[in-house]
Structure 1
Amino acid sequence: MSKPYLIVVTGRPGSGKTTFSKELGNEIFMPVISRDQIKEGYVHTLGKSHNELPEDANKIATEIFFDTLMGLITNNVSVIAEAAFQHRIWSTKLEQFMGKAQVFLLICKVDEKIALDRFVRRGLDNSLREYFHGDKGVDMARKGIELNVSSYEEPLIDVPIFNIDTLGEYDPSIKELSKKIFGD
């Protein structure tokens, strides 16, 4: 029996990873597990805004996210995992899937300033985003404070890596990626 696929979609905040992963999942018929959506479900359950959550809420959401992924992979369910994975923080969590799954890393990329603009715009356009995620940068932008681009350290694990330009049409396209991953 072949191993399930774990397709990791990542990139800095505002890089287009959530939109891309949803489109990818629809195109290749694979579920998408989003770390942010896990956190949103957690916030719903507690009935408190991000700023009122226990200090370890993000850690708890991350553990639930990885437990969910591991449950799927160990039960032979291929899955797309979407989050802003950063090497220093997430690499050991991703490495636990090596040998258990066919892991591919898809990194969504766009100019840093465009990513920052997207990040701020989505927060300003949807006030609930701040409730669920407490995006400090959005609050600063609302107050007219100029934001700097935050650092983002791409995960470096020994798996096939594809960089996806998300500025306009995806490059490479989802169909091209599908051929490279599945050999169709």
Structure 2
Amino acid sequence: MSLIILIRGRAGVGKTTLSNELGKELKLPIIRKDDIYDSIFNYIQDHHTRNQFCYELIYQMIKTTLDCKADILVDAPFSEISELQEWVTKHGGVLKPILCICSDEELWAHRFNQREINPKPNQMITNFEEMKKHYGDSRINGVEGELILDSVHDLKVLIEQSKQYIQYNL
């Protein structure tokens, strides 16, 4: 049975840092939504279409992973995951969602505002206050059974918590 580990959360909370280290630790490949977005930026002009393409490609890559009975880590800011949860289960896999948050808004704003220095195509909003206005509610709620990690804590501790959660629930 395939294991799909999903690292999700708002921009700038630490998803990429967490997924990079967890991927290294578990020796798993990572599908990163932002990498796909940045790669297609010059080929698809409309932001909505780019996002739609990214998520469709993520689903296809997860399906291939499930067909191969392999495991993978996905770094994508899914705000709603019930549909993904059902889809992965239907295709014979197990979804392990991890919600990454940052409870220290000052730290989160500092991280987020670093995007202004050299923004990537997927980083269209580079100011924390603008991001909060754009989303209205800057937080994403966890779902039942999901591990919630606060990136204000030491990365090594977060990795250990992630590994325990993944092993505990298999």
Pick from 35, 41, 44: which aligns with 1:43?
41
* Deviation at residue 101 of structure 1 after TM alignment: 1.3
The Cα of 1:65 is off from its aligned counterpart by: 1.5
SS in 2 for 1:115: helix
Measured after TM superposition, the shift of residue 168 of structure 1 is 3.6
Question: Given that residues 142 and 148 in structure 2 are in contact (C-alpha distance below 8 angstroms), is that contact kept between their aligned partners in structure 1?
Answer: no
Amino acid of the structure 1 residue aligned with 2:109: L
User: What TM-score results when the alignment is normalised by the length of structure 1?
Assistant: 0.75
Q: How does 1:22-171 map to 2 (within 5 A)?
A: 22-43=20-41, 46=43, 52-53=45-46, 55-87=48-80, 90-99=81-90, 100-111=92-103, 113=105, 114-121=107-114, 123-127=115-119, 129=120, 132-133=121-122, 135-136=124-125, 138=126, 141=127, 146-147=129-130, 149=132, 150=135, 151=137, 152-154=139-141, 156=143, 160-170=145-155
Preserved CA contact (<8 Å) 1:15 1:110: yes
Contact 2:104 2:152 (C-alpha < 8 Å) held by counterparts = no
Given that 1:13 and 1:115 are in contact with CA atoms closer than 8 Å, whether structure 2 keeps it comes out as: no
Structure 1 unmatched runs, 5+: none
Amino acid at match of 1:109: I
Stretches of structure 2 that go unaligned for 5 or more consecutive residues are none
> Shift of the alpha carbon at 1:172?
4.5
Change (3 A) 1:117 1:147: farther
Structure 1 contact 72–78 (Cα < 8 Å) conserved: yes
Q: Which secondary structure state, in structure 2, belongs to the residue aligned with residue 26 of structure 1? A: helix
Q: CA deviation at 1:58?
A: 1.4
Between the aligned residues of both structures, percent identity stands at 19
